[in-house]
Amino acid sequence: MPRKVKLLPRAQRELEGLPYAIQDQIVAKLELLRDFPEMGIAMFDAFLGYRALLAARNTYRIIYRIVSYDLIEIAYIRHCARQTRFRLIRGEE
């Protein structure tokens, strides 16, 4: 039985808001996750248990977690610059 890749509502909205060419590249990465769920880098701190995978010429980050052997949940799809700004703001607190 193939693994299911499920986009959570926020990730679905983020994907739908992108240009079609970028969507195609991200969907291609999501399809790879079915066969290679651990290909993303393990995250830590607030994102412990999640993994990050770069897509669309390394400009978008897919944040996901492996729920079970047959289910992968996609939590976020964000432009990498947006993530960096978030991290810088958090670092100043």
For residue 46, what pLDDT band results from cuts at 50, 70 and 90?
A: confident
Rounded percentage of the chain residues whose pLDDT exceeds 70:
87
Mean pLDDT estimate for the chain: 88
Give me the percent of the chain exceeding a pLDDT of 90: 77
Query: Model-level pTM?
Result: 0.83
In order of start, what are the domains of the chain with their CATH numbers? 4-92 (3.30.2310.20)
User: Looking at the predicted structure, is the pLDDT value of residue 80 above 80?
Assistant: yes
Q: What is the pLDDT of residue 86?
A: 45
Q: Hey, is 71 helix, strand or coil? A: strand
What angle, rounded to 10 degrees, do the helices at 9-16 and 20-35 form? Answer: 140
pLDDT at 81: 81
